[in-house]
Amino acid sequence: MRTKMLAGNWKMNNGGAATKDFITNLENWFSKDPVGKKSAAAVSSKAIEVVVAPPFTSIESACSAKQTDIIQIAAQNVYHKPKGAFTGEVSLPMLEEAGCKYAIIGHSERRHVFGESNEDLEKKLIATLESRVLPIFCVGELLEERESGNMKKVLDTQLESAWRSLTSDVVADMVVIAYEPVWAIGTGQTASDDDAEDACDYIRTLAYEKFGVTSSDSLRILYGGSVKPENSASLLAQRDIDGLLIGGASLDADSFEKIIASAL
Ligand code: PGA
């Protein structure tokens, strides 16, 4: 049984004060609301895992607002060097010290707005796997790549460079992949259940071919792109979708809670 991950990617939203309020309210929901209590029990039994990725400056607020271990904190990005003259970057030792369990690597906005290459992301992935922070590694095709029939080719290229120096054990125990078709992110145009499953199934097949059955069976693969309470349950019901990476809908406590509950 793969633990289903519900991860909220806040992007450049919520400063320290808003983050503290959000985390406090979400923990109250887990401890007081009947559905929240069921969700907290599902976290304890490892049926689900709840993750929030605030901006860097709000990570400390999120970690200090947390009274329990129900919510895990992720960074939205990381730099692969541990320290030094890299203005504007944040390192893995800093994320560890702040209390992050995960780091999102290669989100499509990092790839396409900030120009991060497959080589950059490979360095980040390797450095993260050498730290105590675990990677949520994002892949996904542009609209024109899908329309020209190249979705699988794009996934091949993005994953080939990411995976080339990893071992089967690492993939089985430490890696989370998020399939996020770029045309579905922030557009309201969710991939259909079949399209999302098709891509996640393909990623699992690639993992099987490269790392074998134990790794491909254990690997968690998330879908992301315009997830909302109305479509989360049917996406989560797909065989190869082990969770959701949620942007816009994770900023609203009510919709994030509904999406968490849809995984029960
Ligand atoms: P969205 O973003 O849910 O707002 O489409 C998803 C993401 O970018 O991770």
**pLDDT for position 137:** 98
Most informative mutation of 180, 232, 251, 256 for ligand 1 (most atoms within 8 A of CB):
180
pLDDT attached to residue 226: 94
Q: Is 247 in the pocket of ligand 1 (CB under 6 A)?
A: yes
- Atom of ligand 1 lying closest to residue 228 CA: 3
pLDDT computed for residue 37 by the predictor? 98
Handedness of CA 99, 105, 109, 113 (dihedral sign): positive
Measured between alpha carbons, how far is 210 from 155 in angstroms, rounded to an integer?
14
Q: What residue ranges of the chain have pLDDT lower than 50? A: none
Terminal alpha carbon distance of the chain: 14
Q: Which of 226, 228, 230, 258 to mutate to test the pocket of ligand 1 (most atoms within 8 A of CB)?
A: 226
> Which one of the listed residues 141, 180, 197, 257 is annotated catalytic?
180
The catalytic position among 27, 80, 107, 109 is 107
**The predicted structure's pLDDT at residue 162:** 93
Query: In Å, how far from its chain's centre is CA 8?
Result: 8
Tens digit of each residue's pLDDT (9 = 90 or more) over 22-38: 999 999 999 999 999 99
180 is catalytic: yes
Class of domain 4-261: alpha beta
pLDDT of residue 189: 86
| pLDDT per position as a tens digit, 215-240 | 999 999 999 999 999 999 999 999 99
* DSSP secondary structure letter of residue 49: E
Nearest CA to ligand 1 atom 1: 247
